[in-house]
């Protein structure tokens, strides 16, 4: 089994579901050097305060890398034996790409290729945005659709997918206890 298949976890959930805390705890339990890849661009005072609060909650024993677009490059440099990488989050990364009018398909292809080659554990956090109502404007619908596609593509290469709801994790992949689904 390849390193990426043995070590890539996607953690998805709604806003404030506890997905980031769950992902951070996974890395804390690993005993490895912890690397936090923050994809959030600081756009205002509230976001600056939120980032500071999250940094304080994690503690000082994390290496933090702020990267709003080139996650694939960070993974190529940092995901190696002896370290565990947490990317938080793919939703903001996708927003950044859309805002900068980057080619989402090209960047996603780079990310998927990097995930297939990582040398150490990687945990990616993402929002599940498709479970609500249909957005009323075209940009929001485009974002929702792109986020759904991205989550599916990451889930396909990940060896584990965990849905967090109300702070409770539910293992979606692999799920050996689930009976085969048939007609």
Active-site residue set: 54
88 annotated to bind ligand: yes
User: In the beta sheet, which residues pair with residue 171?
Assistant: 162
20 annotated to bind ligand: yes
User: Pairing between strand 8-13 and 33-38?
Assistant: unpaired
44 annotated to bind ligand: no
55 annotated to bind ligand: yes
173 annotated to bind ligand: no
The number of helix segments (H) and strand segments (E) in the chain equals 7, 7
33 annotated to bind ligand: no
CA-CA distance, 27 to 62, in Å (whole number)? 10
CB 143 within 8 A of CB 155: no
Q: Which residues are annotated as a binding site for GTP?
A: 13-20, 55-58, 66, 88
Q: Which residues are annotated as a binding site?
A: 13-20, 55-58, 66, 88
């Amino acid at each position: 089994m390849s390193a990426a298949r043995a070590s890539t976890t996607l953690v998805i959930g709604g806003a404030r579901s506890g997905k980031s805390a769950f992902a951070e705890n996974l890395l804390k339990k690993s005993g490895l050097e912890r690397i936090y890849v923050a994809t959030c661009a600081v756009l205002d005072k509230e976001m600056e305060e939120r980032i500071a609060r999250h940094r304080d909650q994690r503690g000082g024993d994390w290496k933090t890398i702020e990267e709003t677009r080139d996650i694939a490059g960070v993974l190529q440099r940092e995901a190696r034996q002896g370290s565990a990488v947490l990317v938080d989050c793919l939703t903001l990364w996708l927003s950044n790409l859309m805002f900068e009018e980057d080619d989402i398909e090209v960047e996603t292809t780079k990310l998927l290729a990097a995930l297939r080659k990582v040398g150490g554990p990687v945990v990616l956090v993402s929002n599940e945005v498709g479970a609500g109502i249909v957005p009323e404007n075209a940009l929001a619908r485009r974002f929702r659709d792109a986020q759904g596609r991205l989550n599916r593509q990451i889930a396909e290469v990940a060896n584990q997918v965990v849905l967090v709801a109300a702070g409770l994790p539910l293992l979606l992949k692999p799920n050996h206890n689930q009976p085969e689904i048939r007609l």
